[in-house]
Chain A
């Protein structure tokens, strides 16, 4: 087991280095010298330019600069934002809980709806319900979620006035941030009105961000279930005279869940990518919106650090899923 985990972890290291290299090199591709970009139109004396270049290590060989960068990153130094002059890491960490809260809710929504829908569709294969689920899931999968979000706002926020349009909390409430998760913070403060407000703000973004994962989970659950339901041991269980619910719930579902768990784990990347769009539409103060703002403000260190941090979290989650998968499924663990 330990050996399995260690192999997986060691496989992640080159990927991480590669991502670091990619973000390092991408920023070099931006036209213009980083210092000249910052000095603006007034210009800069050649001596001062050389001095600054030396200070920032820009006069050294590219590979040395890269090693410096990796060293800094490993020490948690992702540079300073050009606009706010705050540490990129601290900016990221203040905003990340908002994104995480949204992503977790979206995943929960996708699983809670997608799993039962997929199971039912498989059990009632060929029925109207099955066709409905498959049609809805293909539509969800093809959905431009930025447009979907706008439609929901138009209908529920503007038309019916049920949900707020943007942000995480109504301005009349203030909750001391403790965990960064608005739902937990408001509960800890004992402010139930604020909790309801936070919940109301979460509903639409959760649905929008959860739509594509929901479609994927429903489809995957259905096909995994169909595959398992055709196995011999299911026929045996039925032949034994077990109740249909027990066969589906105990015998089939357990085995069908293995690929579904993996798919859910792999959706984390989709979620963090989709968060860019969802947060932009709903003015959700998370890292996705922050990244787009950094691009618009040409804040390249923030963009570089943000991308690296998001990629790292995706890699770590995938690693976790991989290991969990090995724990759940011994066949994977012992395969070479």
Chain B
């Protein structure tokens, strides 16, 4: 009986296992929300790249004769300003399109910066352990103890208002998330046989960290980086709204919202559209992040 069990033949399936990417896509496309998020992000990215071509007007030109024109479907609206104009006659749609460029750039830079720093710190903490680990992770705990928006506000206040400083502030705030994730992933991998084997084969610490271990830690980081886009865009817009981020006349969505606040009653569209743009973009990234998590995390695979 036991002999029979131990010589149980392998399953007859001889076809090659699917490529990991194909398998990922198979799981990912089951999630309609995530697909929708991906499509929306692709659209926004296209608009951002080609803002100069698709925008009907220059975002900074003030059409003095068309101040506070309502959107086209409202009375008094015109097809030349589809979403209306703001309080000094700039075309809302064009400004939103250029704002997409800024928001995508903010997301990209913040995620790259915080991922690079957080990844490095997490790697060092996970790999070397001991004093380095304690120091780095305690520092991360301290950053985590502060409410993220509060920390971003303080950093932006100290560096001075501006788009670059706001991006720095938001990056600092999210570093601990990447550091923690990387450390946990590294700790889970570092004592596995393949790592020990390459260590024995003489691989140096850099090679071990970046070439041997890193590729196997990527899944949670990819998910976190996607969700990081939404945090970055949301927080940068909040800083812009508080007057600590991009400064007018930059068409950053949060800044646009804040600078036309006093026209809220007379011309609701100047406040509505930037908010819709933020919400849709952030929602799309959150949907995509959730979908990636389901597709990449084997624990959740059904």
Contact = CB atoms under 8 A, between A and B. Distances in A.
Given A142-B282, A144-B237, A315-B145, A303 B157 contact: yes
B142 A19 contact: yes
Interface in A235-289: 269-270, 272-274, 276-277, 280
Residue of B158, B237, B283, B286 contacting most chain A CB atoms (<10 Å): B158
Contacts of B259: none
A296 B243 contact: yes
Contacts of A142: 230, 234, 279, 282-283, 286
Given A272-B150, A314-B146, A280 B287 contact: no
Interface stretch (B14-22, B176-184, B187-195, B268-276): B268-276
Given A147-B275, A151-B275, A292 B147 contact: no
A15 B145 contact: yes
B234 A311 contact: no
21 contacts: A15-B145, A18-B145, A22-B146, A26-B154, A26-B158, A138-B290, A141-B286, A142-B234, A147-B274, A147-B278, A150-B264, A154-B264, A154-B271, A269-B146, A272-B150, A273-B150, A274-B149, A277-B149, A291-B153, A295-B153, A307-B150
Interface string A289-313: 0011001100000010001001100
Interface string B94-111: 000000000000000000
Chain A contact surface mostly = helix
Interface string A156-171: 0010000000000000
Residue of B141, B154, B271 contacting most chain A CB atoms (<10 Å): B154
Nearest to A150: B271
B93 to A, nearest CB: 18
A139 B276 CA distance: 11
A147 B283 contact: no
B145 A146 contact: no
Interface string B221-258: 00000000010001001100111100000000010010
A30 B234 CA distance: 26
Chain B contact surface mostly = helix
Given A139-B283, A144-B282, A154-B264, 19 more contacts: A19-B145, A22-B146, A30-B158, A138-B286, A142-B279, A144-B275, A146-B241, A147-B257, A148-B275, A151-B275, A154-B268, A158-B265, A273-B147, A273-B148, A274-B149, A276-B153, A277-B149, A291-B150, A291-B153
A295 B244 contact: yes
B211 interface: no
Residue of B146, B155, B283, B287 contacting most chain A CB atoms (<10 Å): B146
B139 interface: yes
B158 A153 contact: no
B138 interface: yes
A143 interface: yes
B243 A147 contact: no
Contact of A147 (B33, B146, B147, B279): B279
Interface string A11-42: 00011001100100011011100000000000
A158 B271 CA distance: 14
A273 B145 CA distance: 12
A87 interface: no
A318 interface: yes
Interface in B258-302: 261, 264-265, 268, 271-272, 274-275, 278-279, 282-283, 286-287, 290
Given A14-B138, A139-B283, A292-B242, A29 B148 contact: no
A158 B282 CA distance: 28
Interface in A39-57: none
A158 to B, nearest CB: 6
Contacts of B243: 296
B273 to A, nearest CB: 10
Nearest to A153: B264
B278 A295 contact: no
A277 B242 contact: yes
